[in-house]
Structure 1
């Protein structure tokens, strides 16, 4: 994949993160922490539905894309099983005598339940349609499909402000639902030449069975991973309050700026590495990607620690603790991204049971951490428990890949990552000034640059040469 294509894929996460940073303070000032906590429960439910009912076949689509000639038939083969099961499951749930919205949101409303069900279907469709753009390396279309819905969400919230619409959870949920609808419509239009032929395509049953065997372990790892990312919210819901859940959700939202890096890397990395594997791979390529990814992760995390105090200037007073909690919350996107680079051998060797093992180990640690920390520390305890769990997730995936496929030097990487996770607990549990936090994270950043100085100077030279080339082009245009 060329730098130009990578830049096209990066536009979506970067634009989405920028719009999110604009939208988040507005939502925090307009809606109560309780309602933001309820919205978090909606998002957790949607993510669980996609992980469970995709049946791991979304990953099978990525794995087999370059080795299958009939792409529409491949899409149909991976989409249909999960769609049928999802439809049956939601039908049964709607027929049961309890209120889904009452359980999740503490509000008994058939209207909210209907919106939730529609949101689940829209997200499920969008998941598979997005894979088409991703695997065809249509970066610009993929990015626009991410940016436009966030822009719509911002416009709806701005409309609420302009017309003094009541700041209640129902209206917040409607705004989120409209953004999901926009995602689906944009993806549907951009991929119409791919999914329309899939409607009449014939499924290769033998190939479908092979993909199901590939995906089955991923169902378990998917559920375990969902539990890993969602358990903290349920512990806060059960052992704390919607207010703590809201504060935690805002912290997660700020930390999701790191998802820019995670989204770009994950989107680009999987197609590239499987293509390399099909062609015969040079081990040095994997080592280089791992080193550069480690430097990028520590740099992003350190900069967040140095400047987290700025968050307190844009949020209401009740969100003061967000500046500390987000440093632990960043473990999820950053360590998951790094594990995508270091754990690639699991997918290449098709040993997906080890992906399940990593998720289960992390899930158990997360449950233990939340059980002990949430009742005492609330949102901060949940964030630190999650950080420790993702450290375990990262280590298990890395070690499994190194033993199954390509071994590589891991000492420097482990030292820096462990230091960052320990710091995330220290800043949340021990009172520290913003100045002290700034200098602590500065020391870590300098240490990372020293340990990976070769990668740092190569990156610096590349950026410098890129800037010089752009200036040269601009000068030629002016002349």
Structure 2
């Protein structure tokens, strides 16, 4: 399993490096052609997209992840996939029709102005097409087709980048250019994903299987709402308490914090399908533990880099209006890691205890909400970042403790904690000592990154597994 995991993880990570690289390349373009408040509008619609995609399709794609591998034959797999797809398509079709019909009143309600009506319509169509793209691309993951999934991601981001730059720079459009680009990218990506998995898409709709899948996934809607609140309550609170300008600055910090997904996506995309396939095998427990140690190695490297290079990154890629985001990036990187590390506690999913998942995420969401509305008035944007990080850590600990009961993975907790403390203390000490941006300080920071990589490697990874990873 470990060899298959690293192979698939490398493929996903390679694709993510490219796609996230394009996304980071777009940030300086967006920040030069859009004001912080306009950037805040885009970020606000991303929040709306998140809650829509987490709820209206009742998380049926997660049912495919659980039932596809255990389907008895090819006919069952086709039936599960096709039923879930047509359900998803119809749900998003009606969502867009309703949004279009009430666009004037909804734009007034959400953005305090009917001037945003056309932007609201474009954004609603982008959200609908994104929901369908999310399902079709995930299907490639559940079928364990990592190369096809990565190709689809690359095509999607290239279309979005090309169209967005053309409309923004050449045609002089503003916020709507981003949503039009997303619509085209999502549509092409969905068609390509369906083509790669065409043997599983038929004009079939099985109400019995739909009921079976929804019984599993519908509790995850509550979980999804909890995830949404945990992920986006900071931005909702910022918009309400501080305004769109501050939301735009925070949104830029969050874009750069998304570098965490360069590490996360490879593990997240390849681990869960393999765990569901091999969890009954005795060696899987040890394999997941070793994979987690390897994940911690890469995650801590990214955390260290985000702490000591955040200011340099903002100076290089943005304008002075966004420099205030420098103190936020590392906190949001850590929050991103912790909020997604539930994949290393698969016991709840294996036991099909989705109601327990909902309880954890809702509890975490409530905590995050309380912390944000408590800390933002006192500490501003930093309060939002600290609130998000603290609730993410507590949420992961709840997952780890409760999942252990159903699938006891033997983690090396002591070594992980020592490595984490070493990175935080040394990295923040470097920032305090070498705060100015010069060639000399950059050189010192690069040397530090090399040294800290060696230190945490010795703490977390057995030599034979590091050599095996390098060979793979």
TM-score (ref. length: structure 2) = 0.86
Deviation at 1:227, TM superposition (A): 1.1
Deviation at 1:229, TM superposition (A): 0.8
Structure 2 residue 70 is matched with structure 1 residue 67: yes
2:160 corresponds to: 153
Matches within 5 A, 1:89-168: 91-92=97-98, 95-96=101-102, 99-108=105-114, 109-160=116-167, 163=170, 165-166=171-172, 168=174
Decide whether the 8 Å contact of 1:365 with 1:388 is kept in 2.
no
Matches of 2:96 and 2:161, distance apart in 1: 30
Deviation at 1:193, TM superposition (A): 3.4
Deviation at 1:444, TM superposition (A): 6.9
Matches within 5 A, 1:348-427: 348-409=350-411, 410-414=413-417
Matches of 2:242 and 2:23, distance apart in 1: 26
Decide whether the 8 Å contact of 2:364 with 2:392 is kept in 1.
yes
Matches of 1:350 and 1:122, distance apart in 2: 29
1:259 corresponds to: 261
Decide whether the 8 Å contact of 2:348 with 2:356 is kept in 1.
yes
Matches of 1:84 and 1:76, distance apart in 2: 12
1:345 corresponds to: 347
Decide whether the 8 Å contact of 2:103 with 2:117 is kept in 1.
no
Which of 48, 55, 58 is matched with 1:55 structurally?
58
Deviation at 1:290, TM superposition (A): 2.1
User: Aligned in 2, Cα 1:97/1:301: closer, same or farther, shift over 3 Å?
Assistant: closer
Deviation at 1:415, TM superposition (A): 5.8
SS in 2 for 1:324: coil
Matches within 5 A, 1:12-23: 12-23=15-26
Which 10-residue stretch deviates more, 278-287 or 47-56? 278-287
2:12 corresponds to: 9
Deviation by residue 1:46-101 (Cα, 9 ceiling, x = unmatched): 12111102313211100111111222210133344455555555555555585223
User: Aligned in 2, Cα 1:414/1:123: closer, same or farther, shift over 3 Å?
Assistant: same
Matches of 1:5 and 1:447, distance apart in 2: 27
User: Aligned in 2, Cα 1:79/1:423: closer, same or farther, shift over 3 Å?
Assistant: farther
Deviation by residue 1:365-405 (Cα, 9 ceiling, x = unmatched): 21122102223433322222111111111111111111222
1:227 corresponds to: 229
Which of 33, 37, 45 is matched with 1:34 structurally?
37
Matches of 1:463 and 1:418, distance apart in 2: 25
Matches of 1:100 and 1:268, distance apart in 2: 39
Decide whether the 8 Å contact of 1:220 with 1:356 is kept in 2.
yes
1:448 corresponds to: 456
Deviation at 1:224, TM superposition (A): 0.7
Deviation at 1:262, TM superposition (A): 1.5
Matches of 1:392 and 1:122, distance apart in 2: 34
Decide whether the 8 Å contact of 2:288 with 2:409 is kept in 1.
no
Structure 2 residue 28 is matched with structure 1 residue 25: yes
Matches of 2:172 and 2:94, distance apart in 1: 36
Q: Which runs of 5+ in 2 are unaligned?
A: none
Matches of 1:337 and 1:162, distance apart in 2: 35
Matches of 1:395 and 1:418, distance apart in 2: 17
Matches of 1:91 and 1:464, distance apart in 2: 51
Decide whether the 8 Å contact of 2:6 with 2:469 is kept in 1.
no
Decide whether the 8 Å contact of 2:311 with 2:323 is kept in 1.
no
User: Aligned in 2, Cα 1:416/1:78: closer, same or farther, shift over 3 Å?
Assistant: farther
Deviation at 1:135, TM superposition (A): 2.0
Which 10-residue stretch deviates more, 184-193 or 327-336? 184-193
Matches of 1:464 and 1:366, distance apart in 2: 39
Deviation at 1:450, TM superposition (A): 4.4
Deviation by residue 1:213-246 (Cα, 9 ceiling, x = unmatched): 2112211101110111111111111111111111
Decide whether the 8 Å contact of 1:31 with 1:167 is kept in 2.
no
Matches of 2:427 and 2:51, distance apart in 1: 27
Structure 2 residue 276 is matched with structure 1 residue 269: no
Which of 177, 180, 191 is matched with 1:185 structurally?
191
Size of the alignment, in residue pairs? 457
Decide whether the 8 Å contact of 1:239 with 1:375 is kept in 2.
yes
Which of 37, 40, 44 is matched with 2:47 structurally?
44
SS in 2 for 1:99: helix
Q: CA RMSD in A?
A: 3.3
Deviation at 1:281, TM superposition (A): 5.0
Decide whether the 8 Å contact of 2:238 with 2:384 is kept in 1.
yes
User: Aligned in 2, Cα 1:370/1:464: closer, same or farther, shift over 3 Å?
Assistant: closer
Matches of 2:33 and 2:176, distance apart in 1: 13
1:471 corresponds to: none
Decide whether the 8 Å contact of 2:66 with 2:276 is kept in 1.
yes
Matches of 1:3 and 1:35, distance apart in 2: 41
2:182 corresponds to: 176
Deviation at 1:331, TM superposition (A): 2.3
Decide whether the 8 Å contact of 1:258 with 1:334 is kept in 2.
yes
